[in-house]
């Protein structure tokens, strides 16, 4: 089981899932390759910008930016968030466009091993959706729902 270097389980998983299945089982449901990639993104972003990256921000009521339960009303019914393979990243420094371009370049250059998908920035200007989907396109750009 891989646990991230930069994030707690509460930052990555909806509270409902943690309460129902526990922390260990919540970690086990997350895609290891995607976890390694979000750690890499966060580490490289911090090296370059001296700024972290948020996922869930429970103090603000943002609890569905990582692994979501099947009945969660946020996002699409068949969202890869509900498979533990997608995260919505928000840079602490507020530079969402910069983070989008940064992740795009990491995917394109092959630095990221699992994350291969981004949501079109025109539709998600306050976060960067990263995911692993069944595609050979790097990156695959999708529209939300």
From the number of C-beta atoms within 10 Å of its C-beta (0-12, 13-18, 19+), residue 7 rates as buried
Buried-state track 67-106, b at ≥16 Cβ within 10 A, e below 16:
bbeeebeebeeebbbbbbbbbbbbbeeeebebbbebbbeb
Q: Which CATH number fits domain 9-142: 1.10.10, 3.30.70, 3.30.1380, 3.40.1620?
A: 3.30.1380
Give bridge partners of residue 90 from the DSSP assignment.
54
| CA separation for the pair 120, 143 (Å, rounded) | 6
For residue range 42-93, what is the model confidence (pLDDT) as tens digits?
A: 999 999 999 999 999 999 988 999 999 998 888 888 899 999 999 999 999 9
Chain-wide mean pLDDT for the chain? 96
């Amino acid at each position: 089981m891989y646990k991230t270097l930069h994030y707690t389980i509460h930052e990555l998983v909806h509270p409902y899932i943690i309460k129902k299945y526990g922390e260990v089982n919540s970690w086990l449901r997350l895609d290891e390759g995607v976890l390694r990639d979000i750690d890499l993104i966060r580490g490289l972003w911090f090296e370059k910008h001296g700024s972290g990256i948020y996922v869930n921000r429970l103090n603000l009521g943002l609890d569905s930016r990582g692994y979501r339960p099947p009945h969660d009303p946020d996002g699409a019914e068949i969202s890869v968030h509900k498979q533990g393979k997608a995260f919505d990243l928000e840079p602490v420094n507020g530079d969402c466009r910069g983070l989008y371009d940064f992740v795009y370049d990491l995917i394109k250059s092959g630095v990221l091993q699992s994350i291969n998908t981004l949501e079109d920035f025109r539709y998600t200007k306050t976060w960067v959706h990263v995911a692993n989907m069944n595609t050979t396109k790097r990156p695959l750009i999708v529209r939300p729902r």
